[in-house]
Structure formats: C-alpha cells, structure tokens
C-alpha cells in the first residue's frame, strides 16, 4: 500500500450565487503519494485553482473528504484551518505575493513568526531556505529590487521555511520567461525528490507539466486523462 | 501576531497618506482639547469667583442679572444692623453695597470695548477676599483701578492700562490709580470705580447689590432679613450659587463648542475613512496571502489598528506640542470676565483618548471591509 499524503474522496465543490449554482468540481477523487510532484492541467475555468485551494485548506468542499496526512481537513473550521495551514502547507502563487515593504529575509521569516522559534533558530532556517533557492546574497533586498524569477524563489523559500509536508503552486511559472521558469521547475522537482515534499502544481504550460512526476488533466470538474509517470530525474 | 515593525513600516508605504492622517488627527485633537480647555477654563473661573460665605442681596425679580438689579442705598445700613453673623475686620462689618454696570470703555489709544464696571467703597475688599492690590492705590474720585487681566477684556496691551494712564467712560477721563489681582476669578477683568463716581456717571442713585461676608456658610439670617424687610424688595442668593447659575447661562456656548469640535472631528473621520478604504483595498491580496500563510484575521486586524493608532497618536502628540505653545496659559475674554486655557491632566487625557478613538473607530470599517471577503475570493482579487 502506498503512503498517500493527500487522499481526496468524492469531493464536490459548488458555488451558489443567487439562483445559479456552479459546480466546478463534482465527485472527484485523487490520491497523491508522499514525495510526489504532481501537475494539474486543464482549460481555464476547469476548477484547478478551486481544487488547489481545497487541498491547501484555503477553502472547504461542499461535500466529500480531504485527508491530508490522515487528517480530514474538510471538517475543520475557518480558524482551525488557519492554524493548520501555518504548519502543514506552503502556498506558491503565480504573482509571488511577496509583502513589498519587507525584505526577502523578512518575507521568508513570516511563517516562522507563527511558530515557537527563537531568533537564532529563525535565522538559521531562513538562511538555509534562501540558500536552497540560491538567493543568500539577496536577503536584504526588497521585492521591488528583485527580478520575477528571484521573487518567485523568495516565495518558494517562504513556502518551505517552516518545513511543511505539502507545497501547492498555482501557475508558479506563468509569469516568467523560459529560463527562469525552468530553474523554478527544477527547484520544485528537487524539493520533491531530495527533500520529500509533496508538490501539487497547477500549470497551463506542457513543458512545465513535463517536469512533474505525474500530470493530470482536469476537465469540467473531472480528471479526463492521466499523463506520464516519468521524469523522476532532473535534466 | 504580526510584528509591530510591520505596522510601523506600513505607515511609510504612502507618505502622503501618513501626512494626511497625522495632520488630520492633529487638527481634530487640537480642536477638541481647545474646546475642553475652554469649557474647563470657563467653569473654573465661574466656580472660583463665588464664595459660599458671601451672600448677594439683589432686587427682587432680577435674580439673573446683577446689572438690572436695583437696591436702595438705605438697604445697606439696614442690612448691616439687622443681620447677625456678618464678619467684621478691625471693627468694620464686611458688607459692601456696589454698583455693577456693563459699558464700553475707551483706552488712550482710542480702542473701545465693553467691560464690567464695579462701583465700590474700600470696604469692598472685606467681601471680595481674593482681591489684592498689586500696585498703586484704591481709586478715589476721578480714579479707577484695573484688574490684572482687564487689558485682555479690552483687547489692548497691558501698558495701556498701567498705573497713571487714562481710561474714558463716555467723555469722562479717569486716571488709573492702581492694579489688582483676583486670581482665577471674573473680578480680575473688571474695572473698579469709586462708588459715588459710578453712581453719577451712570445717573443712578440706587445700588445694584449688597454683598455680605458671613462668619460661616449659614445664610438663614440673611433670608430672614429679606422677609422681615419685604418693603426693601430684596432677594438673597449665595455668591457661589449665583455664579453656578451663571455657568448654566453659558452652557449653550459650551455645547456649541462641543458641537463644533464634534462636527469637525466627524468630517475628519469621514475624510480619513475614504483614504483608508482606498489604502486598505489595495492590500486585500496581501492580507489574503498572510492569511494563507497562517495569520489569523484577528492578527491582521490588530496590525491595521496598530498602524492607524500609531499615526493618530503622532498627530495627537503634534497637537499637544502646538497646544503647549499656542494655547496653554492663553487668556480668553468672555462677556463677564476672562478665563485661562490650561493644559490640565484631564485635557491631555481627553486628547489622548480622542487620538486613540480616531485611530480605532476610523479604521474599523475599512479594516473590516478589507478582511471580510472569503480567502479564495480575496486571493483572486486584483
Ligand atoms: N468564489 C467563487 N464564486 C463563484 N464562482 C467561483 C468562485 N471561485 C471559482 N468560481 C468558478 O469556478 C470555476 C472554476 O474556477 P477556477 O478558478 O478553479 O478555474 P481554473 O481552472 O483555476 O481557471 P484558470 O486556469 O483560469 O485559473 C469557474 O467557473 C469560476 O468562475
Ligand atoms: Mg486558476
């Protein structure tokens, strides 16, 4: 039996606004083994972000179970989810979402301020994270002084600094040139392969998807096809 | 919780907004403490002007206005002989028949302003115990003495009211013979005449009131006298009660100052709300990101409040500095005297509370609007 970090069981998510109800995800199930780098593709509006938000505890499903590390997070309250995210998830956004008034170092520090770390412990973790993303020399820079690729690296450092099991990324390379995109993808790949993180990435880019271990195609709230199970090594 | 430095640095995100918030709250707080200091100053001067041991005998039916009151000259000696318990000093009974009259007074520079004139004999000093001569002499015929703050009431430089200078009541020139102090009372802004002078200048042969100083605060005997001699048509009122009544008369003015301060304050709050709405709206996504990292809405809310209170408290501090240099100790004339603006602890406290309230109440609606949308929606927003 595989060790699944994520186990989604018949999840349905619908939004109701006035008299119309949209159901972007219907009766969806998915298992993601620990340490897998999974890519989700699909047309716009197919529910990719919605699914990612459910996995990351940003949103709750209308019905169904979402087991992360054996814990059913679909039952948690908003406040409980907030606490849960602080420990278990790192979220990487398409547009980085760094806090503009804080330096790279301080941005990466944000998740640690929620835990019980001493200043020295924080420093060690932040420097390690910045080093992992190759930005040790940019610690004091503000986001406005960094390139897009560098900003995304800081965002990744921020997502991993508190050592969560799960990383979710919503089109992390969507706003980057090919070269920067490739290095971000290598980084995500290595986080899964070498550091045991489970990575779920949404992307529109087939090349990005090819960097993942497995690719799933989402269409009208259902998985239409399962892609390759390759690429466990980086080029 | 988010670190305090986050709130602090957010302040400098938009220097124009910071300036506006600090300046706006400074204006509001300054206005408010000016209003409080004014009302306190007025209350204070009125409440310390009357003594519970002094009783004023005035004409029946004119209790509200000393200037309209008429008391016959004979009543003074009648009261002196019939009422027991009047304090005596060196054999002289502390009873003073006086004429109070409000009239425009012209100074040698030609400036003319209304002032409160009091026609007295020297024994007036026995009842008005706060009055002390600072220089010169008690006024004789053709002379007046001025209070230490009379120049403020007349709106002239103090030198114009120096001993030896002239004042004009109509066409009559009066020489200033002395200057007196009566700390914290309305008397300090008055002009004291010789009683017979004022009597002939105003063409009246009656007194305005008779003031007696008793050995204690029990005024029953004075009350009794007004009943026994109802032919004199007198009414007795304790001096402290009289000034208390006066301050009720000034309450509408005080309410007006409050209302004005409140209106300007409300205007500033609404103006500030507008800029805050815009400022916080542009941070919805950032707030959502922080929530996705694991910060609670409460933590973010606290940080937003911290940010605003920091700005409004800086404004409050600025208001205090301005008030210290511009308001503290300033004397303000009003119809019957002059009061002093003082930065008392309660004035400071009021300003501080106002600064904090501006920061919190003004931030509440924009902060709530910024934190209310669901997390997925906020992350999606642009
Ligand atoms: N909060 C919401 N309220 C109502 N409808 C929503 C909400 N969030 C998402 N939807 C709808 O759900 C559907 C799926 O949206 P989602 O953002 O998951 O698509 P996506 O696959 O991420 O698209 P894209 O590739 O454009 O990012 C869309 O039709 C969208 O309009
Ligand atoms: Mg999306």
What residues does each domain of chain A span? 4-234
What integer pLDDT is reported at residue A221 of this predicted model? 81
Report whether pLDDT(A129) > 50: yes
Residue B214 CB contacts under 8 Å (≥ 6 apart), including other chains: B53, B54, B55, B85, B86, B87, B222
Mean pLDDT of chain B: 92
CA B302 to the chain's CA centroid: 38
**Residue B243 belongs to a domain:** no
**Residue B141 belongs to a domain:** yes
CA B46 to the chain's CA centroid: 9
A22 lines ligand 1 (CB under 6 A): yes
Pair B37, B159 in one domain:
no
**Residue B209 belongs to a domain:** yes
Residues 287-346 of chain B whose Cβ lies under 8 A from any Cβ of chain A: 289-296
Distance CA(B25)–CA(B364), nearest Å, equals 16
Residue B108, CB half-sphere, CA atoms under 13 Å: how many? 13
**Residue B239 belongs to a domain:** no
Beta bridge pairs of residue A219: A222
Report whether pLDDT(B382) > 80: no
**Residue B232 belongs to a domain:** no
Q: Which residue has the higher pLDDT, A84 or B334?
A: A84
Pair B86, B192 in one domain:
yes
Q: What angle do CA B298, B300, B303 make, to 5 degrees?
A: 110
Pair B196, B290 in one domain:
no
| CB neighbours of residue B118 within 10 Å | 24
The interface predicted TM-score (ipTM) is 0.93
Mean pLDDT over B68-89 rounds to: 92
Pair B301, B368 in one domain:
yes
Pair B207, B297 in one domain:
no
In chain B the first and final C-alpha atoms are separated, in Å, by 26
What integer pLDDT is reported at residue B186 of this predicted model? 93
Enclosing domain of residue B58:
53-216
Q: Is B62 in a helix, a strand, or coil?
A: coil
What integer pLDDT is reported at residue A228 of this predicted model? 58
Is some CB atom of chain B closer than 8 A to the CB atom of A79?
yes
| Ligand 1: nearest atom to the Cα of A218 | 21
Distance CA(A104)–CA(A138), nearest Å, equals 7
Report whether pLDDT(A234) > 70: no
Distance CA(B168)–CA(B204), nearest Å, equals 19
Q: What are φ and ψ of residue B124, in 5° steps?
A: -55, -30
Mean pLDDT over B79-108 rounds to: 93
Task: Tell whether the torsion through CA atoms of B366, B368, B374 and B376 is positive or negative.
Answer: positive
Q: Which range has the worst mean pLDDT, A155-164, B146-155, B183-192, B265-274?
A: B265-274
What integer pLDDT is reported at residue A235 of this predicted model? 37
A24 lines ligand 1 (CB under 6 A): yes
Mean pLDDT of chain A: 92
Mean pLDDT over B26-49 rounds to: 92
Q: Which range has the worst mean pLDDT, B59-73, B279-293, B311-325, B326-340?
A: B59-73
Number of residues that this document lists for chain A: 235
Pair B197, B255 in one domain:
no
Distance CA(B93)–CA(B318), nearest Å, equals 54
**Would the CB atoms of A93 and B290 count as touching at under 8 Å?**
no
The pLDDT confidence band at residue A222, using thresholds 50, 70 and 90, is confident
Domain boundary among B194, B216, B238: B216
Pair B261, B355 in one domain:
yes
**Residue B223 belongs to a domain:** no
- Each residue of A14-31: pLDDT tens digit? 999 889 999 999 999 999
Its pTM stands at: 0.82
Instruction: Quote the number of domains for chain B.
Output: 2
Pair B44, B58 in one domain:
no
The pLDDT confidence band at residue B187, using thresholds 50, 70 and 90, is very high
Share of chain B above pLDDT 90, in %: 74
Pair B42, B180 in one domain:
no
A20 lines ligand 1 (CB under 6 A): no
Task: Decide: B375 and B324 in contact? Cβ < 8 Å.
Answer: no
Mean pLDDT over B327-338 rounds to: 88
What integer pLDDT is reported at residue A109 of this predicted model? 97
Report whether pLDDT(A113) > 60: yes
**Residue B241 belongs to a domain:** no
Mean pLDDT over A93-111 rounds to: 95
The pLDDT confidence band at residue A233, using thresholds 50, 70 and 90, is very low
What integer pLDDT is reported at residue B19 of this predicted model? 92
Report whether pLDDT(B308) > 50: yes
What integer pLDDT is reported at residue B195 of this predicted model? 96
Task: Decide: A212 and A37 in contact? Cβ < 8 Å.
Answer: yes
Q: What are φ and ψ of residue B109, in 5° steps?
A: -80, -5
Share of chain B above pLDDT 70, in %: 99
A13 lines ligand 1 (CB under 6 A): no
Q: What angle do CA B321, B322, B327 make, to 5 degrees?
A: 115
Which residue does chain B place closest to A99, by CA atoms? B286
Task: Decide: A146 and A180 in contact? Cβ < 8 Å.
Answer: no
Q: How far is CA A215 from CA A175, A197, A198, A205, A223, in A?
A: 20, 17, 14, 11, 10
Report whether pLDDT(A231) > 60: no
Distance CA(B245)–CA(B58), nearest Å, equals 15
- Each residue of B225-249: pLDDT tens digit? 999 998 999 999 999 999 988 888 8
- Distance between A229 CA and the closest CA of chain B, angstroms: 30
Pair B121, B165 in one domain:
yes
Sheet strands side by side (includes A71-72)? A20-33, A4-17, A63-68, A71-72
Pair B39, B120 in one domain:
no
**Residue B30 belongs to a domain:** yes
Beta bridge pairs of residue A6: A32, A68
Provide the phi-psi class of B131: left if phi over 0, else alpha when psi is between -120 and 50, else beta. Answer: beta
Q: Which residue has the higher pLDDT, B266 or B165?
A: B165
Report whether pLDDT(A163) > 70: yes
What integer pLDDT is reported at residue B109 of this predicted model? 92
Mean pLDDT over A187-200 rounds to: 95
Number of residues that this document lists for chain B: 382
Identify which of A17, A46, A54 to mutate to test ligand 1's pocket (most ligand atoms within 8 A of the CB).
A46
Domain boundary among B191, B216, B241: B216
Q: CATH number of the domain at A4-234, out of 3.40.50.620, 3.40.50.300, 3.20.20.150, 3.40.50.1000?
A: 3.40.50.300
What integer pLDDT is reported at residue A50 of this predicted model? 95
* CB < 8 Å to B294, chain A: 82-83, 85-87, 111, 114
């Amino acid at each position: 039996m595989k060790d699944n970090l994520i186990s989604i069981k018949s999840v349905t998510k619908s939004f109701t606004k006035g008299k119309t109800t949209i159901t972007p995800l219907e009766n969806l199930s998915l298992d993601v083994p620990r340490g897998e780098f999974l890519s989700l593709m699909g047309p716009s509006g197919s529910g990719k972000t919605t699914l990612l938000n459910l996995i990351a505890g940003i949103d709750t499903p209308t019905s169904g179970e979402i087991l992360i590390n054996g814990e059913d997070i679909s039952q948690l309250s908003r406040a409980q989810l907030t606490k849960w995210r602080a420990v278990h998830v790192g979220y990487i956004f398409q547009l980085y979402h760094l806090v503009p008034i804080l330096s790279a170092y301080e941005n990466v520090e944000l998740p640690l301020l929620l835990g019980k770390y001493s200043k020295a412990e924080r420093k060690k973790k932040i420097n390690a994270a910045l080093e992992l993303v190759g930005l040790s020399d940019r610690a004091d820079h503000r986001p406005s002084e960094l390139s897009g690729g560098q900003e995304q690296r800081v965002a990744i450092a921020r997502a991993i600094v508190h050592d969560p099991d799960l990383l979710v990324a919503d089109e992390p390379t969507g706003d980057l040139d090919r070269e920067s995109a490739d290095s971000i993808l290598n980084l995500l790949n290595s986080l899964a392969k070498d550091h045991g993180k489970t990575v779920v990435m949404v992307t529109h880019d087939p090349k990005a998807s090819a960097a993942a271990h497995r690719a799933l195609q989402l269409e009208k709230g259902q998985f239409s096809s399962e892609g390759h199970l390759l690429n466990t090594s980086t080029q | 919780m988010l670190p305090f430095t986050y709130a602090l640095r957010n302040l400098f995100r938009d220097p124009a907004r910071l300036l506006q918030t600090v300046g706006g709250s400074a204006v509001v707080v300054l206005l408010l403490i000016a209003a409080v200091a004014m009302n306190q100053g007025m209350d204070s001067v009125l409440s310390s002007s009357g003594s519970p041991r002094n009783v004023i005998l005035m004409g029946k039916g004119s209790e509200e206005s000393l200037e309209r009151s008429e008391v016959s000259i004979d009543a003074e000696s009648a009261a002196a002989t019939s009422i027991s318990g009047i304090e005596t000093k060196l054999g002289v009974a502390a009873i003073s028949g006086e004429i109070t009259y409000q009239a425009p007074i012209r100074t040698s520079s030609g400036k003319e302003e209304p002032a409160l004139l009091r026609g007295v004999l020297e024994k007036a000093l026995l009842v008005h115990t706060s009055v002390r001569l600072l220089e010169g002499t008690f006024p004789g015929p053709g002379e007046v003495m001025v209070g230490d703050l009379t120049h403020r009431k007349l709106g002239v430089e103090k030198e114009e009211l120096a001993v030896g200078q002239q004042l004009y009541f109509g066409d009559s020139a009066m020489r200033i013979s002395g200057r007196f102090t009566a700390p914290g009372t309305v008397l300090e802004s008055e002009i004291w005449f010789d009683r017979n002078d004022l009597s002939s200048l105003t063409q009246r042969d009656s007194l305005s009131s008779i003031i007696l100083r008793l050995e204690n605060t029990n005024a029953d005997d004075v009350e009794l006298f007004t009943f026994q001699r109802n032919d004199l048509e007198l009414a007795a009122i304790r001096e402290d009660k009289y000034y208390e009544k006066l301050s009720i008369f000034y309450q509408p003015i005080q309410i007006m100052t409050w209302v004005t301060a409140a209106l300007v304050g409300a205007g500033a709050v609404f103006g500030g709300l507008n800029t805050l709405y815009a400022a916080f709206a542009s941070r919805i996504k950032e707030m959502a990101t922080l929530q996705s990292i694991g910060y609670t809405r409460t933590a973010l809310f606290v940080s937003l409040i911290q940010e605003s209170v920091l700005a409004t408290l800086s404004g409050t501090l600025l208001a205090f500095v301005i008030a210290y240099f511009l308001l503290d100790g300033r004397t303000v004339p009003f119809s019957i005297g002059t009061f002093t603006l003082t930065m008392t602890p309660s004035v400071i406290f009021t300003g501080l509370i106002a600064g904090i309230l501006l920061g919190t109440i003004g931030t509440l609606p924009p902060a709530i609007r910024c934190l209310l949308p669901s997390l997925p929606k906020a992350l999606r927003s642009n």
